[in-house]
Amino acid sequence: MKTAVIYHSVTGNTKNMGEIIVQGMNSVQGVEARSFDIEHVDTAFVKEAKCVVFGSPIYAAHITGQMMNYLLAEAGKLELAGKLAGAYATAQYVHGGAELGIREMLDHCMVMGALTYSGGASWGKPVIHLGPVGIDHTLDIDQFAKNFEIYGTRMAQKAMELFA
């Protein structure tokens, strides 16, 4: 089963965390996960995917303009309806708006007819409430990497449970 991560990233944090989500997804037997920058999305692959996760840096407590433009202009081509969808963010501050950005992406997925999911408290600790967040500059972002890997595994496991 194919699963995908689509991200916008300027200085690499969101790209790196997306690649860690992919590692977690690929640890689930039967899953083929790939990540794509918004400018290089393999649309055919994502159309076939049963789970799609979107990631953005946080700018001014929102997702980036580029990510919003991608969602508005291109995400309609991904056939998100009925797929499992999730979102993650990277930011500088714990109070910097990361979960607002995650909500923006999840809301968009819902509008497209996707089934939004994070695992929440159902898997126990770490409880990943809306989606994983990585904080850089004020903290060491690598300390959040394990949450991204676990999140990728949980998303892929749920996709297998629903669609395999």
Ligand X SMILES: Cc1cc2nc3c(=O)[nH]c(=O)nc-3n(C[C@H](O)[C@H](O)[C@H](O)COP(=O)(O)O)c2cc1C
Q: Which residues bind ligand X (CB under 6 A)?
A: 9-15, 57-61, 90-93, 96-97, 136-137
Q: Rounded to an integer, what distance in angstroms lies between the CA atom of residue 71 and that of residue 107?
A: 11
Instruction: Tell me how far, at minimum, the Cβ of 11 lies from ligand X, in Å.
Output: 3
Q: Which is nearer to ligand X, 39 or 161 (CB)?
A: 39
Angle at Cα 98 formed by Cα 108 and Cα 22, nearest 5°? 70
Q: Which is nearer to ligand X, 11 or 122 (CB)?
A: 11
Q: Rounded to an integer, what distance in angstroms lies between the CA atom of residue 147 and that of residue 164?
A: 25
Instruction: Tell me how far, at minimum, the Cβ of 97 lies from ligand X, in Å.
Output: 5
Instruction: Tell me how far, at minimum, the Cβ of 58 lies from ligand X, in Å.
Output: 4
The gap from C-alpha 9 to its chain's centroid, in whole angstroms, comes to: 13
Q: Which is nearer to ligand X, 44 or 60 (CB)?
A: 60
Contact 163, 49 (CB under 8 A): no
Return the C-alpha torsion angle 30, 46, 13, 116, nearest 10: -80
Q: Which is nearer to ligand X, 22 or 112 (CB)?
A: 22
Residue with smallest beta-carbon separation from ligand X: 96
Instruction: Tell me how far, at minimum, the Cβ of 76 lies from ligand X, in Å.
Output: 24
